[in-house]
Structure 1
Amino acid sequence: MIFLGFSAGLPFSLVSTTLSAWLADTQVSLSVIGYFSLVGAAYSIKVFWAPVVDRLPLPLFDRLLGKRRSWMLFAQLGVGIGLLGMSELEPVNHLQELAWLATWVAFCSATQDVAIDAYRIEAVAPQYQGAMAATYVFGYRLSLLVAGAGVFYIAEYQSWHLAYEAMAAAMLVGVAATLLVSEPEHAVDSRVRQLEERIETALGVTQDSSCLARLVAWFSDAVVSPFVEFFQRNGKAGVWILALIAVYKMSDIAMGVMANPFYLELGFSKKDIADVSKIFGFFMTIIGTSLGGVLVVRFGIMRPLLLGAVIVAATNLLFAALATVRPDIMLLAGVISADNLSGGIASAAFIAYLSSLTNSAYTATQYALFSSLMTLPAKLIGGFSGDIVADYGYYAFFTYSAVIGLPALILVMLLMRSGIGSDARER
């Protein structure tokens, strides 16, 4: 799971924050950099093809590797090829081609996420899921370090092109892990099957064996049933839960789009950014995630979830303050430490919350829904971040990114006050 987590996290930075730094370093305008962040929308709409990954076997690959591993390998090879293609381009002269390849990498990466989530749930017994998730997150964070600090070091002393070539080769870590692990068993839940049959009956396709009827039945089982099950279990509160998922990470993700261009404009070198933002920030994130896990065990899910929403929005104001003072490497380290520590706490609480909402029968599809909702609004808003910085400056942008964290605070408090989400679900 460490190796699979590494493979999942590697392309994420390479089509988001690291890519924005490459574009900024080659004098691409801030507005264009902001629009490039829309590439990450692939992670937010993966729910639309998650049922296909969850249910449909890949020809040839499936017979050799099994359903989960075949999708994982297909996605990993797609990411590697896309990164290799990006490494051959000069951003200023080939922006359109770079955008298409970055979109392909994001699509393959999101597909890999869906397949690995499904594998993780099916590979071991429920009592080991916590350990699986923890090792996956560690591998994911390690890859963010490599795709961040590693790329910055190579770019500083060699070139961005060589850096992206090296990252394409690093995807072989995930390929090797996929080939070495065993295909998990695919258990069938009788209660889920009953739900699917009731929905098929309501659609009138149970007695019809035509091709269209079979297609409708497949769509019903793979797409409709996971959503019906979620609202059947949560009732009207499901709307408020989905709204919270949609806005919880908005402040953090929207701010991250302009972080690296901000550091470069302050005058810090790529080596400074790698030293402070990537390596030091990596360890602060690990500490924050561990602390968040302890808080969840000690206080349940909802109170740490509220704390995470508060401190993530608050640390964005520290960036606003940083934009008004003379650049200083120690001050940068302090602000980044606070940001990564708070982000780690919030992430641990949020992952625990999402996990508590998922039915094991539809883990891949429902988790894809949650993670898509988690990032889509933020990615859409982040697309305009370059325009905001260009028109109003970094101080106004970071203040704005803190303010858009307020809806998450309100929704967490509403769910806590109504008694929805924590105590009953944790028991």
Structure 2
Amino acid sequence: MGPDSRARPGRAMRGKLLPLAGLYLVQGLPYGLQSGLLPILLRARGLSLTRVGLAKVLYAPWLFKLVWAPLVDRRGTPRAWLVLSTAALGLVCGLLATLAPTSQATMPTPTLGLLLLLNLAAAVQDVALDALAVQLLEPAELGPGNTVQVVAYKVGAALAGGGLLTLLPILSWPLLFLLLATTYWLATALAWAAPALCQLPTPQLTEPPGPKKPLHLLQDLLAVPGTLWTAGFVATYKLGEQGASSLFPLLLLDLGTPAPELGLWNGVGAVGSSIIGSALAGALLAKHWQPLPLLKLVLKFRLGGLVCQTLLLFHLDAADSGPSPGPTAMLRGAALLSLCLQHFLGGLVTTATFTVMMRCSQLAPRALQATHYSLLATLELLGKLLLGALSGALADGLGLRLCFCLLLTLSALPLLDLGLAPSMLAGAAGRHGQ
């Protein structure tokens, strides 16, 4: 076999991975925009922690992906849905550019409505892009494809959450959203014109078009071995971590950390650390580490890191009110570094958890595996959003110290859950159904 014939498969895979990388990158922009950039913008405008936290309710469309995922499967093609949803994202960002924020400490209703539409279009794009990737990638390409997915998504989140925040002194609100709109329209052209995506055949339905009744479908999903435990674990494993990570940057902002500096650490630095953690977890699992023992080890480190971060916050709060600014500067630097450490550990935890989720879904009948995994992914997202949305209200209502004690308790619970894991999930993740 000549060198050209050996190189052709590599070129073909790159032809698939490059457009997927670009599309997954822009898929991460809405998450970074609303998890990194928007909370700091709202807090800087004077909104209470409760209102900043409740802004995460705008993520609600992501919780209903199971409602329109069958529509994406049965009407048109994933590529068509991808083009339409990405173009819609560009349109919404263009409209947001016309709604510059006022000096009032409230979010205008039109802006709230457009942000809700932004999440709706992004959730549809997520379903369409994942479905397209499943059709596009060969079995040997799934490893590189999933690596591209995770890294590109997190880079997009970092660019929107931290990169744009550092540009706020240069870019106005209208220019910021015009930049995002232009990015989405370029991604729309990529989804429409990329040769690898154009070659996908129109899928043929092999089952009757009538869907199962929701109750019967849910019964089939819950009957899969290990589902009840996995669903409970993924819905709760990030409660404490997500609450702390939502509050900590805002409290650092209150204690005098400049917004551009905070955006750099909490956006670019934190996401970069998360990518490294995810890559390390993948390498350890490839070296035959079992997911559940790895989770138990990393969750212990995560809990210890959260304890240290909480103590740093309490000391920083006390030092900030004292006469000497020196310790405050040192503690603030340590606190910013702790953001990266916690996101590094969070990346490890998330990758190991997703491996357990996939292992559980592989125990389902082949015809249910995609829906089963979507159910677990929706519960995982719901668990992350719950404390992210309520953490501000908890801090305002309970006080800072009691709130963080509660978050630490929630972070310890997953360690107890692991002791109840069913035996069929203890083995290494197998291959997808053949």
Pair in the same fold by TM > 0.5: yes
Cross-structure match for 1:151: 164
2:333 paired residue number: 330
Question: Is 1:380 matched with 2:393?
Answer: no
Aligned residue number for residue 247 of structure 2: 258
Measure the CA separation in 2 of the matches of 1:46 and 1:341: 28
Where does residue 75 of structure 1 map in the other structure?
A: 85
Instruction: Quickly say closer, same or farther: Cα 1:358–1:106, change in 2 above 3 A.
Output: same
Letter matched to residue 369 of structure 1: L
SS in 2 for 1:324: helix
Change over 3 Å in CA distance of 1:69–1:362 after alignment to 2: farther
Q: Does 1:95 align with 2:101?
A: no
The match for 2:409 among 403, 412, 421 is 403
What residue identity is the alignment partner of 1:167?
L
Equivalent positions of 1:297-316 (< 5 A) are: 297-298=286-287, 299-316=289-306
Contact 1:242 1:370 in 2 (8 A): yes
- Among candidates 242, 245, 251, match of residue 231 of structure 2: 242
SS at match of 1:264: helix
How far 1:109 sits from its partner (Å)?
0.9
The verdict on how the C-alpha distance between 1:183 and 1:252 changes in structure 2, with shifts beyond 3 A counting, is farther
Does structure 1 residue 184 correspond to structure 2 residue 200?
A: yes
Question: Which residue of 24, 27, 34 corresponds with 1:8?
Answer: 27
The one-letter code of the counterpart of 1:270 is A
1:274 and 2:290 aligned = no
**Does the 8 Å CA contact 1:276/1:333 hold for their aligned counterparts?**
yes
Deviations 1:348-384 (A, max 9, x none): 2122223333356556533332221002133233322
Kept in 1, the 8 Å contact 2:221–2:368? The answer is no
Q: Deviations over 1:285-331 (max 9, x none)?
A: 22211111122223122222333433334433333222212343421
* Structure 1 unaligned residues grouped into runs of 5+: 58-66, 198-216
- 1:13-162 matched pairs, under 5 angstroms: 13-57=32-76, 67-87=77-97, 88-90=99-101, 92=104, 94-162=107-175
* Higher deviation after alignment, 138-147 or 84-93: 84-93
How far apart in 1 are the matches of 2:171 and 2:127? 34
- Residue matched to 1:339: 342
Structure 2 Cα separation of the partners of residues 254 and 186 of structure 1: 43
Assess, with a 3 A threshold, how the Cα gap between structure 1 residues 70 and 100 changes in structure 2: closer, same or farther.
same
1:134-184: CA deviation from partner (whole Å, max 9, x where unpaired): 001111111012102221122133334432332222223432331212353
CA RMSD, 1 decimal: 2.7
SS in 2 for 1:157: coil
Query: By how many angstroms is 1:345 displaced?
Result: 0.7
Aligned to 1:351: 354
Partner Cα separation in structure 1 for residue 183 and residue 37 of structure 2: 16
Cα distance in 2 between the residues matched to 1:309 and 1:43? 26
> What displacement does 1:425 show?
4.7
Note the C-alpha offset of 1:231.
Answer: 4.1
CA distance in 2, matches of 1:254, 1:45: 22
Are the counterparts in 2 of residues 80 and 171 from structure 1 also a CA contact under 8 Å?
yes
CA contact (8 A) 2:58 2:119 kept: yes
Whether the aligned pair in 2 keeps the contact of 1:9 and 1:141 (CA below 8 Å) is yes
Per the normalisation by structure 2, the TM-score is 0.81
Distance 2:212 2:183 in 1: 39
Counterpart residue number, 1:319: 309
Number of equivalenced pairs: 389
Is the partner of 1:129 in helix, strand or coil?
A: helix
What fraction of aligned residue pairs are identical, expressed as a percent?
20
Rounded to whole Å, the distance in 2 between the matches of 1:79 and 1:311 is 38
- Residues 260, 42 of structure 1: alpha-carbon distance in 2 compared, 3 angstrom cutoff: farther
| Counterpart code for 1:90 | P
Aligned mates of 2:286, 2:217 — CA distance in 1: 28
Summarize the Cα distance change of 1:321–1:168 in structure 2 as closer, same or farther, 3 Å threshold: farther
Equivalent residue letter for 2:256: G
Counterpart-to-counterpart distance in 1, 2:276 and 2:383: 28
> 1:402/1:159 Cα in 2 relative to 1: closer, same or farther (>3 Å)?
farther
CA contact (8 A) 2:93 2:177 kept: yes
Residues 228 and 131 of structure 1: is their aligned pair in 2 closer, same or farther, counting only changes over 3 Å? farther
Q: Does residue 220 of the first structure (1) align with residue 224 of the second (2)? A: no
- Given that 1:248 and 1:309 are in contact with CA atoms closer than 8 Å, whether structure 2 keeps it comes out as no
Per-residue CA distance 1:48-86 (angstroms, 9 max, x = gap): 2222222222xxxxxxxxx01111112112222222333
1:104 and 1:242 mapped to 2: Cα distance? 28
The more displaced of 161-170 and 354-363 is 354-363
Contact 1:315 1:339 in 2 (8 A): yes
